[in-house]
Amino acid sequence: MNIFRFLGDMSHILSFVILLLKITQGKSAAGISLRTQELYMIVFCSRYLDLFWNFSSLYNSFLKVVFIACSSAIVYIIRFKSPQKDTWNPELDNFPIQYLIGPCAVAGLLINQDWTPFEMIWAFSIYLEAVAILPQLFLLQKQGEVENLTSHYVAALGAYRGLYLMNWVYRYFTEDDYLQRIVWFAGTVQTGLYIDFFYHYYQSKRGGLSRPVKLP
Amino acid sequence: EMLLAEKDEL
């Protein structure tokens, strides 16, 4: 455990807290992509299947359960709970996620660390996480202007990815035998997806002003 | 033999 990894996990948790606060306190899921949240739920449920047989630390196991619980709760609220379910707009949030899930499943079957079922599922979850934010980014793009809490949510997720990237660099130079090509590749792609958002986030938040983020 | 990375990240 290093500081980058820890802060990365904390900003990941922060992103869940921001999103849960937004949809429970604000009673609205407007601007939030249910598609992205469903993808995250699939990602966590498939990657953390090993909760049943792998134990690395209490910290890890606890956070795995937290991530599955939070993403499931978010999907449940937006899909089934009133009044939030009536604020979700399926016409706006219509990214065809089958085109993300399909190729990631094929990639998971073909490119993995070891030819076992769990390694295939695990690789699938890594690939899917890399692109899971796309429906959310497309939704923001369509809306043009992004509500503050939503922009903080995406920023917290982006920070989590950036910090994990630094964690990998740190581990590569401080540990022997630390090689994770699949994770590094997918993680770099994933972090890259946030670069454009961060540019606009910085533009609208600089000078301490709390203006909504405007996307072209 | 391929070395499997330990799954100690989230």
Instruction: ipTM value, please give it.
Output: 0.85
Label residue B5 exposed, middle or buried (CB < 10 Å: 0-12, 13-18, 19+).
middle
Collapsing DSSP to helix, strand or coil, A150 comes out as: helix
Write the pLDDT tens digit of every residue in A17-49: 999 999 999 999 999 999 999 999 999 999 999
Q: What is the mean pLDDT of residues A100-129?
A: 97
Mutate to test the interface with B, among A40, A60, A184 (most CBs of B within 10 A): A60
pLDDT tens track of chain B, all 10 residues? 445 667 999 9
Return the ∠ at Cα A157 (arms to B4 and A209), rounded to 5°.
155
Q: What are the CA-CA distances from residue A207 to residues A152, A156, A211 (Å)? A: 16, 19, 10
Q: What is the mean pLDDT of residues A159-179?
A: 95
Residue A92's closest CA among A131, A134, A146, A136? Answer: A136
Q: Which residue on chain B is closest to A125 by alpha carbon?
A: B10
Query: How many residue pairs bridge chain A and chain B with CB atoms within 8 Å of each other?
Result: 29
Is the minimum CB–CB distance between B1 and chain A shorter than 8 Å?
no
**Residue-level pLDDT at B2:** 46
B5·A67 Cβ contact <8 A: no
Round to whole Å and give the CA distance between A12 and A158. Answer: 9
Write the pLDDT tens digit of every residue in A188-216: 999 999 999 999 999 888 867 677 888 88
Percent of chain A residues topping a pLDDT of 70: 99
Residue A119 has pLDDT above 70, yes or no: yes
